[in-house]
Amino acid sequence: MAENSSGLVRGVRAAGAVTGRWLHRTDYLKKWLFLGALIGVVAGLGAIGFYWLLESSTGWLLRDIGGYTPPTAAGDGGHSGSGTGFSAFTRPWAIPLTVGGGALLSALLVFTFAPEAEGHGTDAAIKAIHQNPRGIRPVTVAIKLIASALTIGSGGSGGREGPTAQISAGFGSVLARWFDLRPGDGRIAVGVGIGSGIGAIFGAPLGGAVLAASIAYKEDFDNRVLIPGFITSIVAFAVFGSVEGYAPLFGDAATSYRFTDPAQLLWFAVIGIIAGVIGIAYSRGFYGTVRLNAAIPGAGRWSKIAKATVGGVLVGLMGLAMPQVLGTGYGWAQKALEAEALLMLPLWLVIVLPLAKIAATSLSIGTGGSGGIFGPGVVIGAFVGAAVWRVLHELDAPWLPDGPAPFAVVGMMACFGSIAHVPLAVMLMVAEMTGSYNIMVPGMLAVGLAYLLVRQTGDTIYSEQLDSRESEYANRVSDGLPLLDRIQVFEVRRSVTALSETDHWAQARTALAAAPIDGLPVIDADGRMVGVLDTAAAEQADPGEESIRSAVRRDAGSVRDSATLETAVQALPAGHRWLTVVDDERKVCGIVTVADIVGGYRRAVDEDARRFGRIAEGAEFTEMTVGAGSAAIGTAATALDLPAGALVLSVMRGPAVLPADDELVMAAGDTVTVLSAPEDVAGLRALLGGEPASVAGA
C-alpha cells in the first residue's frame, strides 16, 4: 500500500512537472485559458460547497437550536423570516448560548489545527499575493470552510465571501507549487482566486474580475490580472449558477429606478459622505477590537478560544435587542430595499443599525472567529442608505425617490467600495447583486465622495493591502537594481548538497551543520525538489520522528536555472537569504543567495562600465532601419556582431519600443537605436543594411 501511495505521489509530481514545463513555454492565452478554467471550476464548486454548508449550519444551529429563523435575500429564496424580528425568538435564552457555542466550536478548530484561519481570510490571501503565492496550506482552507460555517451559521456576524475566496485562492497557491509557476504567474493565480470566489458566491462575475485586479493595492490596479480574472470569474459563476441559479442576490427591487432629477444628487452626495465616515468607523472599530483582544492577558490556545467564545456570547446578547445583526444580514439588507418593510422598523433602530452591525462583526471576527468582512460591509452600507431615506421620509424632504432601494444600493457601493479601496469593483458587484445598473450615475458621485474621504485618512479594511505595485518588495529591489534582467541564474548559482525526504534526522543535522545557509533543498527519489528543510525546523523536530518528511516546508519557492536574477528576486520573499535553483524537470541544480545576486549585478555593472569605456567621447546616438537583406535578421539583439564598444539601446517595431535583450530577435523593418563611436557608423550600416535615420552628437 505504501509503495502504491509513493508511486501515486511521484506520478502526480511528474504530471505537474510536465504541465509546468508546457505552461512555461506556451503563450499567454493558452496558459490562462487552462489555469483560469481550473481555478474557476474549483471556485465555483467551493462556493457551492460552502453555500450548502452555511445553509445547513444555519438551519441546525440558529433555527433548530436557537429558535430563530432570519429572513433571506431574494436570490437565496426570499424567505420572509421573522417580520420585524422582535417577537421572533421562540427561545430567547438560547440565542446567546447558540452564538457563543458556534464561536467556541469554530475557535477550537482554528486554534487547534490552523491558527492562520483566524479572522476574515481575505487578508491572508492578499498577503500571499505580496509575499508568498505558494504559501496557502490546503488544511487552512478546509478549516476556514468549517469554522466560518459554524461562526456565521450560529448567528455570528460575518460574510460568506471570505471562505470562498480562500478556497479558490488556496487552489491557485497549490497550482503555483505543483506547476512551479513563475512568481508573477503565481501572484495572478492567487489574485484571480480571490476575485472568482467572491464573484461566484455573490453572483457578480464582472465585479469579481475587477476586484481581483485591484484588491491587493490601495491606489493601484494590476492590469495583468484582469483578463485571467475574466476567464476565471465567468467559469466560477457558470459552475455556481448551474446549481444555485443565476438570479441577482437582492433580486430586482431597484431595477425600476431611473435617474431623471439632478436635484436628487444632493441626497446621494449626503449618502456618500456618511458612507465614507461609516466605512472609516468600520475599519477602526474592527481593528480596534483586534488590538483590544490581543491586549487582553493570555496568549495560549485556550485563552484565544475563550476570547472568541465571549465575543460570540456578546453578539448573541446584542441580537436579542437587534436581530438584524445576527448572521450574514443579507435578508435584512433585502428588507432595507423595500419601503413597507423599512417603515415597520422603529426609526431609532434604522439609524443605529450600521453601527450595531459594525460592533457585531468586530466581536464575531475580530475576537478570533472566522468569516468574511466584505458581506457585512455591504449590509452596513445598505443600512446607511436606508437610514438616510427613512430620516428624509420622516422630514417629508423634497426630491426623494418613492422607495429606499436606490439609496440602499448606493450606500452598499459607497461604504465598502471606499474603505476597501476598490470603488469600481464594488460598484460593479453591487450593480450585479441588485440588477440595478441604472443607479450607477448617482452611485459614481457617492462612491467618489466616500473614497476621497477615506483616502484622506489612509484607513482600509484590508490591512495587507500595499499602496501600489511600486511599493512591493520585489519591485523596489528590481527598480533599485535595473540590470538584474541581464544576468541568468545559472551564471551565478552555487552547488549544494540536497537532502532526501527519506533521510534520517542524524543525516540531515550533519548536512545542515555543514551548509553555508540556514537550510537545504529536499528532493524526492527522482531528484526533484519537494521543498526545503530549515535549520530552525530541525532544532524543533520531534525526536520520535525517524525521517525528515513531516518537517519539510513544501511551499518554499524556487527559480529556474534559465531565469534572470530579476525573476529570482521576485521569487525570494523579504527576509530570506537564498532560493533553490531547479531545471525544467524540477531537479535541483543548486542554490542562489542574495550574495550571488549582488555579485552578478556587480559583474553586469562592470561589464557596462567596460563597454562604455571603449566608446570615444564623441559618441553618437544613431537610428537605422534593418534592411531586408541584413545579416542581423534572426539574431538576438544581444548577440549582434557589433563594432567594439557599440551598444544597442532599443529597438522600435511598429509603434512598440522593445528592450534590446536576449529574447528580442531582429527582424526586417526594425528601427534600431545605437550608441557608438563616429567611426563605427559605417560598420553598423553594413551590418544592419540601412542608412542612419538621424544622428545627434552625444
**What's the chain's length in residues?**
698
Say how far apart CA 489 and CA 533 lie, in whole Å. 22
What are the grid coordinates assigned to 386, written together?
Answer: 436606508
Say how far apart CA 388 and CA 266 lie, in whole Å. 12
- Max Cα-Cα span within the chain: 96
Residue 632 contacts residue 687 (beta carbons within 8 Å): yes
Task: Name the residue with higher pLDDT: 301 or 481.
Answer: 301
Q: Are strands 519-523 and 499-500 parallel, antiparallel or unpaired?
A: parallel
Say how far apart CA 268 and CA 663 lie, in whole Å. 53
DSSP label of 548: S
- Nearest-Å Rg of the Cα atoms of the chain is 29
> How many whole angstroms from its chain centre is CA 454?
21
pLDDT at 518 over 60: yes
pLDDT digits (tens, 9 = 90+) for 273-307: 999 999 999 999 999 999 999 888 876 788 999 99
Beta-bridged to residue 370, according to DSSP, are 119
86-to-344, 349, 415 alpha-carbon distances in Å: 11, 11, 27
pLDDT digits (tens, 9 = 90+) for 374-389: 999 999 999 999 999 9
Say what the pLDDT of residue 698 is.
40
Alpha-helical regions (H) of 481-614 = 505-514, 535-539, 565-571, 594-613
414-to-372, 379, 466 alpha-carbon distances in Å: 18, 12, 21
pLDDT at 478 over 90: no
Q: Which of 261, 264, 269 is nearest to 446 (CA)?
A: 269
Q: Are strands 620-625 and 692-697 parallel, antiparallel or unpaired?
A: antiparallel
Helix (H) or strand (E) holding 195: helix 183-202
pLDDT at 353 over 80: yes
Angle at 464 between CA 459 and CA 470, to 5 degrees: 95
Say what the pLDDT of residue 309 is.
95
Say what the pLDDT of residue 696 is.
41
Say what the pLDDT of residue 33 is.
94
Buried b (16+ CB within 10 A) or exposed e, 645-656: bbbbeebeeeee
Say what the pLDDT of residue 672 is.
86
Say what the pLDDT of residue 686 is.
82
pLDDT at 84 over 60: no
Say what the pLDDT of residue 7 is.
64
59-to-108, 155, 439 alpha-carbon distances in Å: 21, 11, 35
pLDDT digits (tens, 9 = 90+) for 24-36: 888 888 999 999 9
How much of the chain, in percent, has pLDDT values that exceed 90? 44
**Structure confidence at residue 87 as a pLDDT band (50, 70, 90):** very low
What are the structural domains, with CATH classification, of the chain?
Answer: 2-17+29-250+275-469 (1.10.3080.10), 480-600 (3.10.580.10), 615-697 (3.30.70.1450)
CA torsion sign for 427, 431, 432, 433 is positive
**Structure confidence at residue 363 as a pLDDT band (50, 70, 90):** very high
Cell numbers 427613512: residue: 390
Average pLDDT over every residue of 421-439: 92
CA atoms within 13 A on the CB side of 26: 16
- What is the DSSP track for 276-320? HHHHHHHHHHHHHHHHHHHHSS--SHHHHHHHHHHHHHHHHHHHH
Most confident of 120-129, 251-260, 424-433, 630-639: 424-433
pLDDT at 313 over 60: yes
525-to-81, 97, 500 alpha-carbon distances in Å: 59, 53, 7
Say how far apart CA 355 and CA 284 lie, in whole Å. 12
Say what the pLDDT of residue 671 is.
86
DSSP label of 594: H
Say how far apart CA 321 and CA 311 lie, in whole Å. 16
Q: Which of 160, 240, 179 is nearest to 18 (CA)?
A: 179
pLDDT digits (tens, 9 = 90+) for 442-476: 999 999 999 999 999 999 999 889 888 777 766 66
pLDDT digits (tens, 9 = 90+) for 92-110: 999 999 999 999 999 999 9
Task: Name the residue with higher pLDDT: 57 or 79.
Answer: 57
Torsional class of 67: left (φ above 0), alpha (ψ -120 to 50), beta (otherwise): left
Say what the pLDDT of residue 468 is.
84
Helix (H) or strand (E) holding 445: helix 440-457
Task: Name the residue with higher pLDDT: 165 or 678.
Answer: 165
Say what the pLDDT of residue 415 is.
96
CA atoms within 13 A on the CB side of 210: 15
Say how far apart CA 462 and CA 451 lie, in whole Å. 15
Per the prediction, the chain carries an average pLDDT of 86
Task: Name the residue with higher pLDDT: 317 or 482.
Answer: 317
Say how far apart CA 123 and CA 169 lie, in whole Å. 11
What are the grid coordinates assigned to 207, written together?
Answer: 465585479
Q: Which of 668, 608, 609, 674 is nearest to 641 (CA)?
A: 674
Say how far apart CA 299 and CA 306 lie, in whole Å. 11
504-to-100, 520, 545, 548 alpha-carbon distances in Å: 46, 14, 9, 6
Q: Are strands 647-653 and 656-659 parallel, antiparallel or unpaired?
A: antiparallel
Say what the pLDDT of residue 479 is.
64
Say how far apart CA 279 and CA 350 lie, in whole Å. 17
Say what the pLDDT of residue 383 is.
96
159-to-50, 201, 282, 373, 579 alpha-carbon distances in Å: 11, 10, 14, 6, 38
Say what the pLDDT of residue 5 is.
55
Torsional class of 426: left (φ above 0), alpha (ψ -120 to 50), beta (otherwise): alpha
Average pLDDT over every residue of 628-657: 82
| Cβ neighbourhood burial of 628 (10 Å; 0-12, 13-18, 19+) | exposed
Say what the pLDDT of residue 691 is.
53
Cell numbers 521543498: residue: 531
Torsional class of 575: left (φ above 0), alpha (ψ -120 to 50), beta (otherwise): left
Say what the pLDDT of residue 8 is.
66
Say how far apart CA 177 and CA 131 lie, in whole Å. 14
